[in-house]
A and B are shown apart, each in its own frame.
Chain A
């Protein structure tokens, strides 16, 4: 039993914190929200320099050969400063490719970050539906997974995916398509004919999103096992959970500092139970989320049968934690917390959008129930 960080993991985290401390993120984000998207720093060179693009790629393929928990540590640091960085799309894509010998030729450039990948999120079946499905543009009805038809050694893929993280500018799109009704991994050149990526942002300027339309787009069929395709979706859940909890950490720190300094009626506001208890609630949710990151980090390799449960539970708790942390941050700061000058609204915006991406927090919560109900049947 050992649920602590190794020296290497401590170093990875500290290095990430150091690298991200040298870039400005909050002020440019406000400018971007004011209609100047170019104000956002390009953090991909920072990621390249730190070796993050290759985190989940085997060493013999040029990567760092690390695991989900290490990637979660880096995403947590990105979340702390609301860094606009394209790892949420890139890392699950590389995880699929790394499991597919047919994708090996792509890995070297993706490991160094010379080229960037984006994951096309397709959710695996659950206890109620045996369909692979995608996030819809709007509403509750999930869409059909992309379909593929064989074309020589490869395939041609058609389908629509909405709000794909980090899709704009991606060199390679990696996801899942149904070939003769069976899920297969596919890698598609981002600039190929038949690929349309409509860049979009919503509410949180730090998130680069794209609506992806595939019309007979030429694809490499990846020989990754089906578990790997499902695992990529779950990895994305775990990564966004880690990123969210990183944001909770700084939101809590800032709120606690303010509660110590700001006085009313002759006392620091943090001495009032109402304020103290609401901040303790943020800590409680953060601590629960952290424990589930360990669970998910262990399960991907150590207990793959539990990865769906672990990653979904982490996502569920982290989503609620971030929403509550952002709202508490605003209320602890009083009126100033709701103004444009303050950073609290940026956390709030991050919380509202994050909880609706990649299936949304509610979808993950439902999967937790589904996994446990299935386990109960087996017992």
Chain B
């Protein structure tokens, strides 16, 4: 058991570090007095920087070489991320595309799709978004209602609404889960599509949250036309394709859980500024309890990494770390506000922002309640609750639900 690099890993780290030493002056400045202010300029600079990181081999590290990646393992991606953080330069702009959607296309896409989309995605020339969740399909993702209808000429017409879509406001493409057959049970009638975002029939609207900022979007589809070549992984196989994306989502979260900035060091620094708070037994006790759990998550991440190195795939138990991080950060925000008083709730305060962001994060990537169901059933082996939707054609579900109510 050790936390040190192997010889190969140390060599890779040195290589990444020397690239960053040489190029970090080219990175966009996003914080401090010299930060770029204009949003369009920030975006352009971050796209260009992603392109440089890709050329330097620091992005898409786990992607096959054929598609511009390095063909290395998750540990090398983590080393690259760690060195990027240490160099205090921004990471890639399109973490969702490169971390989750690109790997899905690599696993299920056609050769044409791989050739057309992957290079531009990796270099930040075309940013991607994930079009899975809907107002009535989140934790129960297979309940999506966005409808894709096959036309006589083999093309598809797509109508419906997606929500919680990060980066849609500047994305070129999205990976969209749609219903193509409503007369079969809900997991079977789904198909995955590649859709353009800047096409007629697509409307993107910012979705403001508690903080007042819009980190997410709603995306509306009104008879969007796409070719047969837009299907990823085959018609009717959308659920299996979506599971691949969700598996890569778990890997991304497992490897970068502390990247959210919710960690014991940051919380302790906020308390340490107040001389009375740092000697207050109640404050110390709460900080100690919160910090212990946040520290645990760091080492859970290392355990995940060890498993990945051995070729194992993280299962639903990695959702436990997400529950710990979110509930720990909520408690920490509350404690810090108790210590700092109303100043912590100043609209410009990092703590006000964190306190506002967390209630929604509790439901991100599956609500905490559904995560606990899944873990209880798949990890502990507890029996599932009786379900009313098993084996029932999607088109009949609504009337069944009404009868049951």
Contacts and interface: CB of A to CB of B under 8 A. Distances in A.
Nearest to A268: B383
Contacts of B299: 3, 291-292, 294-295
The A interface, classified by DSSP as helix, strand, loop or mixed, is helix
Contact of A362 (B3, B9, B285, B383): B285
B268 interface: yes
A267 interface: yes
A288 B293 contact: yes
Q: Which of B272, B281, B307, B323 has the most CB of A within 10 A?
A: B272
Interface string B325-349: 0000000000000000000000000
B264 interface: yes
B284 A279 contact: no
B383 A260 contact: yes
A364 B5 CA distance: 31
A60 interface: no
Contacts of B377: 276
Interface string B1-36: 111110001000000000000000000000000000
Contacts of A309: 295
11 contacts: A3-B305, A271-B385, A272-B385, A283-B320, A291-B300, A309-B295, A364-B288, A366-B284, A366-B285, A369-B285, A376-B269
Nearest to A293: B299
A288 B382 contact: no
Contact of A280 (B283, B303, B375): B375
B384 A271 contact: yes
B2 A369 contact: no
Contact of A3 (B1, B376, B381, B386): B1
Given A271-B382, A369-B287, 7 more contacts: A1-B75, A256-B380, A268-B382, A270-B376, A309-B295, A312-B292, A313-B295
Q: Which of B278, B292, B324 is the most central at the interface, judged by chain A CB atoms within 10 Å of its CB?
A: B292
What range describes how many residues of B lie at the interface? 35 or more
Contacts of A370: 284
Most buried by B among A267, A294, A320: A294
Contact of A369 (B284, B300, B379): B284
A314 B299 CA distance: 11
A318 to B, nearest CB: 10
Contacts of B306: 1-4
Nearest to A297: B1
Contact of A1 (B3, B380, B382): B3
A288 B300 contact: yes
A376 B306 CA distance: 29
Given A372-B268, A373-B268, A69 B1 contact: yes
Interface residues of A, number: 60
A291 B317 CA distance: 13
Interface in B347-381: 369, 372-373, 375-377, 379-381
Interface string A280-305: 11011001110110110110001100
Interface string B279-320: 101011101110111011111101101110110000001001
B293 A276 contact: no
A376 B296 contact: no
Contact of B291 (A270, A276, A368): A368
A366 B272 contact: no
A274 to B, nearest CB: 11
Interface string A308-327: 01101110110010000000
A372 to B, nearest CB: 4
Interface of A: 1-6, 9, 69, 128, 252, 256, 259-260, 267-268, 270-273, 275-277, 279-281, 283-284, 287-289, 291-292, 294-295, 297-298, 302-303, 309-310, 312-314, 316-317, 320, 362, 364-370, 372-373, 375-377, 379
B289 A365 contact: yes
A128 B288 CA distance: 15
B372 A276 contact: yes
Nearest to B286: A369
B211 interface: no
Nearest to A287: B320
Interface of B: 1-5, 9, 75, 264-265, 268-269, 271-272, 278-279, 281, 283-285, 287-289, 291-293, 295-300, 302-303, 305-307, 309-310, 317, 320, 323-324, 369, 372-373, 375-377, 379-386
A320 B268 CA distance: 21
Contact of B375 (A2, A283, A295, A365): A283
A273 B320 contact: no
Contact of A287 (B284, B289, B300, B382): B300
Contacts of A369: 268, 271, 283-285, 287-288, 291
Contact of B292 (A259, A270, A316): A316
3 nearest CB pairs, A to B: A288-B296, A365-B288, A372-B268
A141 to B, nearest CB: 13
B302 A294 contact: yes
Contacts of B287: 368-369, 372-373
A316 B289 contact: yes
B300 A313 contact: no
A302 B3 contact: yes
A257 B383 CA distance: 11
A316 B324 CA distance: 15
Contact of A284 (B284, B307, B309, B320): B320
Contacts of A280: 320, 372, 375-376, 380
A251 to B, nearest CB: 13
Contacts of B369: 273, 277
Contacts of B295: 292, 295, 309-310, 313, 368
A370 to B, nearest CB: 7
A19 B72 CA distance: 43
Contacts of B296: 287-289, 291-292, 295, 313, 317
A283 B379 contact: yes
Interface centre among B75, B272, B320, B380 (most CB of A within 10 A): B380
Nearest to B320: A284
A242 to B, nearest CB: 14
Contacts of B372: 273, 276-277, 280-281
B268 A6 contact: no
A333 to B, nearest CB: 15
> Which of B264, B296, B323, B381 has the most CB atoms of chain A within a 10 A radius of its CB?
B296
Contacts of A268: 382-383
B382 A256 contact: yes
B380 A317 contact: no
B265 A376 contact: yes
B1, B271, B291, B297 — most chain A CB neighbours (10 Å): B1
A367 B310 contact: no
Contact of B303 (A128, A252, A272, A294): A294
